[in-house]
Structure 1
Amino acid sequence: MPPTEVPRRRTLQDVADAVDLSINTVSRALRDLPGVGEATRARIKSEAERIGYVPNANARSLVLGSRRTIGVILTDLANPFFNDLVTEIEERAIQAGYTLLLLLSDEDPERERVAVDTALRSGVDGIIGVPVQGRSNPWTAVTKAGIPLVLVAREVPGLDVDFFSSDNQEGRRMTTRALLERGARDIVLVEEDLQITTVAHRVDGFRNALEEHGIPFDSRRTALVPSRRTARGSSLWRGEDAYRVGVDLLESGRVPDAFLVGNDYFALGLYAVLRERGVRIPEDILIIGWGDYPFSRYMDPPLSTVRLPVIDVARHATARLLALLDDTAAPGSSAEYLSPELMLRASTNN
């Protein structure tokens, strides 16, 4: 079996070799300078696109070597997970002699495409990315251009790159079991209304744990909080969003045994509505959050929640990308899911 070829950035020389012309001619054609016939110019541009060549805006500064830059493309920084993620990636990158180019997509597929294109044209050596998971997929341009790529938190189906994430499915299964062990049967999962794999995996873990205990899963067991991620400039989550969901549920006459929430901010809103309606935590209802944000242990009562392995995810992803950049690892398509930790506190009678 032949050895796996390590991807590399396509160069002007690659284009020149493909069309059997000089680098000078290829460069002039790609920059739309005079002196190149239209048919030749079209052939050069077509071949450059076919092999994945991306013009490097910093090419002149690369004459003496690489700028040693890692691109990090995130959906947002309001999410504490991604904030901690990029902080740890930067620390690891600096230790290895790299700087970061940080770009944000704001959950917008078009901004994601621009971010990927900007990273490529800026001459980054490699990219760590969190996909929007929209209809478009700009990430294939990265692998096509021969730039090492590692994805985090969300996958892109069919893209053969390494992937690292917290194990959202197991984390939600773990929290559901904890509630079932404490006698809860009418459990409502409160999640953000966003079509991403992290939410889908948590719903799957919830469903699996219920079915393991012979409890059927139906639409009454989930409540969706409208997503704010497409509204630029707004905070990612607000307790008031989950507050309104709680009001609607309680006004229907239903008081469940327990809530599982998609982030600890949602728990803030549920705490407020339950307190207003005289529903006691944990005597009347149990609650488990997600994220273990700094305020969670100071809530009244302190919130049981899930601590995500964000530092380990960042370390694994950065180590993998650095190994690809150093040619000490071959490109792969492995997926690694790191275990979260259940933090039990007074909101579940602990």
Structure 2
Amino acid sequence: MTDEIDGRRQPTLQDVAKVVGLTANTVSRALNDRPGVNPATRALIKAEAERLGYVPNVHARSLVLGSRRTIGVIVTNISNPFFSDLVSEVELQAGEAGYTVMLLLSYESANREREAINMALRSGLDGLIAAPVRERSNAWDNVIRAGIPLVLVSREIPQIEADFFSTDNEAGIRLTTDAVLRMGAKDVVLVDEDMPFSTIRLRLEGFRRSLEAAGLPFDPRTQLALVPPPRSFRVAQSWQADDAYRVTSDLFDRGRRPDAFVVGDDYYALGLYRTLRERGIRVPEDVLVMGWGNHPFTRFMEPPLSTLLLPFQDVARQATRRLLDRIQGTASPEIVTHRIVPELVIRASSTR
């Protein structure tokens, strides 16, 4: 090996090559796990590169390969635990493949979403994973026309050709609704967002199917307590507990006395629990409650909340793998749609 480099500057590929006494081409092949390098030599080169603190110049690499090795993730906001967990898992999976992640937020605003998409297009990202705000917009068409690989998560846009991975919302709400029906519930109320998303539409359909399969009528005028949609500037999660508190309080004030509630998020159950406490209604003796999301606080509610464990890790892993395959040209040509059934978690709030 030759003399060490000047420690006051960032080591380059040529510096690594000089230290190990090999050509820059050989060092590059070894660091990128390309063939033609002896395993012992490859190990030596990687060890010396790490010791020297060598970091690849991603920008220079992108000029040569036509790739920034960066993917974009567009979600509504990261105060939603599902999206924060999903982004974390995408970052882990992408990082293992040598990609970095650019996070862009829409805050449930169509204008902010369009700005995020335009930023992604200007940045020359290799691909996008996104949970769209609206089911159709010209901005998403621009992504497709630009030839940027796109994978949607959680919310679907049926009109465009993009792979899609999500929790199976219809199957999930049927699991929770069927659970309270098996316990003898006859008057079940669904508490969920009033938003034009495929997730909400599928949950409504699953709720209707469960009631009808049990021989119960489905009447949206009496069996739904919909939480008002969020304003576009609201940064916090749209499913605030106080929203659920208001709509369920109003429900009881109008003389309704359901014997079961299924909710579209565990945060709604927090508001519902307050409504029930104020009226002296006991869970589960008087009313059964089923949540959605298995957030950490659900085990500590009184009584502990039955809920759904969402497969965010599987969704993120499969979406990221599909996007990387699209970027690298190894994906099958057909459009993939995969909905993963969540897992029912039974606790005291739904059992008698």
CA shift, 1:244, in A, is: 1.1
Q: Which residue of 2 aligns with 1:292?
A: 294
| Residue 120 of structure 2: aligned partner | 119
* Aligned pairs for 1:148-187 within 5 A: 148-187=149-188
In structure 2, give the amino acid aligned to 1:213.
Answer: A
**Equivalent position of 2:327 in the other structure:** 325
Cα distance change on mapping 1:276 and 1:232 into 2, 3 Å = closer
Q: Does 1:190 align with 2:191?
A: yes
8 Å contact kept, 2:106–2:133: yes
Q: What residue is the counterpart of 1:103 in the other structure?
A: 104
Cα gap change, 1:93 to 1:146, in 2 (>3 Å): same
**Gap runs ≥5 in structure 1:** 1-57
The alignment partner of 1:312 has SS state of helix
Q: Report the RMSD for the aligned CA atoms in angstroms.
A: 1.7
Match of 1:238 in 2: 240
- Write out per-residue CA displacement over residues 51-105 of structure 1, whole angstroms, 9 at most, x where no aligned residue: xxxxxxx998842332200011111112111110000000000000000111011
Q: Secondary structure at the match of 2:293?
A: coil
What residue in structure 2 maps to residue 250 of structure 1? Answer: 252
Aligned counterpart in structure 1 of residue 318 of structure 2, from 311, 316, 320: 316
Specify the alignment match of 1:266 in structure 2: 268
Secondary structure in structure 1 of the residue aligned to 2:296: coil
The letter of the residue matching 1:269 is G
Matches of 2:100 and 2:244, distance apart in 1:
39
* Distance change >3 Å, CA 305–CA 270, structure 1 → 2: same
| C-alpha distance in structure 2 between counterparts of 1:306 and 1:271, whole Å | 17
**Tell me, which stretches of 5 or more residues in structure 2 are unaligned?**
1-57
TM-superposition CA deviations, 1:172-209 (whole Å, max 9, x none): 11111111110001000011111111011111000001
1:200-239 correspondence runs (5 A): 200-219=201-220, 220-228=222-230, 230-239=232-241
Q: What is the TM-score of this pair, normalised by structure 2?
A: 0.80
In the TM superposition, what is the alpha-carbon distance from 1:250 to its structure 2 partner? 1.1
In structure 2, what residue type is equivalent to 1:265?
Y
Deviations 1:282-309 (A, max 9, x none): 0000000111111011100000011110
Q: How many residues are aligned here?
A: 293
Structure 1 position 222, deviation (Å):
0.4
CA contact (8 A) 2:109 2:233 kept: no
- 1:128 Cα deviation (Å)? 0.7
Amino acid at match of 2:175: M
1: CA distance, partners of 2:113 / 2:250: 35
Q: Which letter does structure 2 place at the counterpart of 1:279?
A: I
Match of 1:64 in 2: 64
What's the TM-score once normalised by structure 1's chain length?
Answer: 0.80
- In structure 2, how many angstroms separate the alpha carbons of the residues matched to 1:229 and 1:263? 18
The aligned counterpart of 2:49 is: none
Task: Give the direction of change, closer, same or farther, for the CA distance of 1:169–1:283 in structure 2 (3 Å limit).
Answer: same
CA separation of 1:229/1:74 partners in 2, compared to 1, >3 Å: closer, same or farther?
farther
CA offsets per residue over residues 97-150 of structure 1, 9 Å max, x none?
Answer: 000111011111121111111101101011111111155241121121111111
